[in-house]
Amino acid sequence: MDRCAAAPPPVPACESGRAARASAVSRREFASCAAAAAAGWLMTACGAKPLHEIPKDRLRAQLQELEREYSRKYGTAVTVSDTPAAPNVMFAYALDISRCIGCRRCVYACVEENNQSRDPQVHWISVLQMDKDKGVDFSHADPYYQAAEVPEDGHFYVPVACQQCRNAPCTKVCPTGATWTDPDGIVVIDYDWCIGCRYCMAACPYGARHFNWGEPTIPSGKLNPKTHVLGNRPRPKGVVEKCTFCIQRTRNGRYPACVEVCPVGARKFGNLLDPESEIRYIIEHKRVLVLKEDLNTVPKFFYFYAT
Amino acid sequence: MRGWRTASLAATMSVACLAAGDRPAAQGQPPRPTERLEVPPPPFTDGIFPCSACHSGMKVNRTRRPLTDMHAEIVLTHDAEHRWCLDCHDAENRDMLHLASGERLSFDESYRLCGQCHGEKYRDWRAGVHGRRTGNWNGHKAYLLCANCHNPHQPRFKPIEPMPAPTRPSGPRK
């Protein structure tokens, strides 16, 4: 205490001045603050815009800037596309609970495809081990199961990622409009507009959104250089991310990475609007359920029993 | 990396499809039953095919018996009580299989043989719902033969080692 009193830390002049006048706001100060706020509002309205409002040529320039930045940082030629949603497409996913063996191949294929941070660890897919006796019951689900071999007796497995809800609670709570549902049904996040408030994480009943608590790390040479601006491009610290149905693949016609890696073929993907698609076949022929149906989130991620 | 080759091939195809029209003709449609499917080569043990290389000079013995001289490593746990080699493998043409009707078919059409008993699985497989698919959701899809995943002699999947569990979050939540 004595030492503090003897040598007080230097206070910047402006702070001390502000502190002295904290009790009253003069007319001049109010006017200049209001003018600055108005100017700021104008500049924001005319300046930075949400992704879907940016003119095409400016967006292309921004993406090229990102490409240069990522290429420099990761030492490889990175592409950042902005492939838009195709007309007459509504993506949906189906997962066969009777087949999944809980091997977690999908989890790690997703990490590699979508450039999730390795440390701190971010997984978009969480494989829940459940008791056959209890059925689909989240209060008894264990994502941390360790086993020499799977499937374990008496258990079944429910991998959970973003359910791509039609009535998505996460997009409603975002204060900056950084997350929305694109026309093909993918709920996307603009990492440049995410302020990291994590309201969406609180709103999501599936625990599908993940926060970058630390600077994401991807080992050199492990970056997937084919990225989408709303998907797997490298994320900064302090933003929320989640499954995008592999937007960088599916918007180019391909299957998501988890579909292609699943060793038991439990994962299915397709266009809900195409009567000939695998998804429609499943919905029309199999026993189908969605998670937490009672919350009226209307997921486009279906679980089914093929047997 | 095989995956990347497949990936680039698929990407090229999707571009080709998009160039040809906004919706490719083959979009998601299950192939007609008569249509022959493009499948990967059957997973033969190295050096075992063609079977006729050894069998052509041998006399056909149709008696059901435990195999001792050759193929002793094959353990049949696929309805072993009712099945035996020549129920599926053709005795006259050793490089072929045969259906219950007697119709011969090659190993790369073996799905029709499996489909004789597993009709429901066969239907699902054709629709893309049973088994793994790779390629394009709106275009060319790569099928796998039943035998690419299931050992026809022991079709049930064996348990496998899972990938590592996620790390538990640090901090006050335990």
Digit-coded pLDDT (tens) for B54-86:
898 888 999 988 888 889 889 999 999 999 999
Is it true that the peptide bond before A151 is cis, omega within 30 degrees of 0? yes
Identify which of B144, B64, B66 has the alpha carbon closest to the alpha carbon of residue A262.
B144
Whether the pTM exceeds 0.90: the reply is no
Q: What is the DSSP string of A121-148?
A: T--S-EEEEEETTT-S-GGG-BTT---S
Question: Cβ B160–A149 below 8 Å, yes or no?
Answer: yes
Q: Kindly indicate the confidence band of residue B144, based on its pLDDT and cuts at 50, 70 and 90.
A: very high
Q: Which distant-in-sequence residues (6+ apart) come within 8 Å of A266 by Cβ?
A: A95, A96, A97, A99, A100
How do residues B19-65 score in pLDDT, each as one tens digit?
333 334 444 455 555 566 778 888 888 888 899 898 988 889 999 88
Q: Which residues of B touch A255 (CB under 8 A)?
A: 133-137
Lowest mean pLDDT among A19-28, A247-256, B77-86, B117-126: A19-28
Per CB-CB distance under 8 Å, the chain A contacts of B168 are 144
Domain contains B25: yes
Flag whether B166 is in a domain: no
**CA distance, residue A268 to nearest chain B CA (Å):** 7
Q: Say yes or no to pLDDT of A304 above 90.
A: yes
B-chain CB neighbours of A126 within 8 Å are 166
Q: Which residue is associated with the tokens 């359920």? A: A289
Considering the domain boundaries, does residue B118 fall inside one? yes
Query: What tokens appear for A8 in the block?
Result: 């007080």
A56-75 pLDDT, tens digit each: 899 999 999 999 999 999 99
Residue of B nearest to A103 (CA): B162
Express each pLDDT in B88-129 by its tens digit: 999 999 999 999 999 999 999 999 999 999 999 999 999 999
Selected for mutation to probe chain A from B129, B130, B146, B168 (highest A CB count within 10 Å) is B129
Within a domain: B170: no
Q: Which is higher by pLDDT, A289 or B70? A: A289
Does the residue B154 lie in any domain? no
Mean pLDDT of A236-243: 97
In terms of residue numbers, what domain contains B119? 2-60+72-149
- The pairing of strands A126-131 and A287-289 is unpaired
Indicate whether B167 pLDDT > 60. yes
Domain count, chain B: 1
* CATH number for domain A91-305, candidates 3.40.710.10, 3.30.230.10, 3.30.70.20, 3.80.10.10: 3.30.70.20
Compute the nearest-CA separation of B66 from chain A (Å). 32
ipTM of the complex model: 0.80
DSSP A228: E
- Answer yes or no: is pLDDT of A4 > 70: no
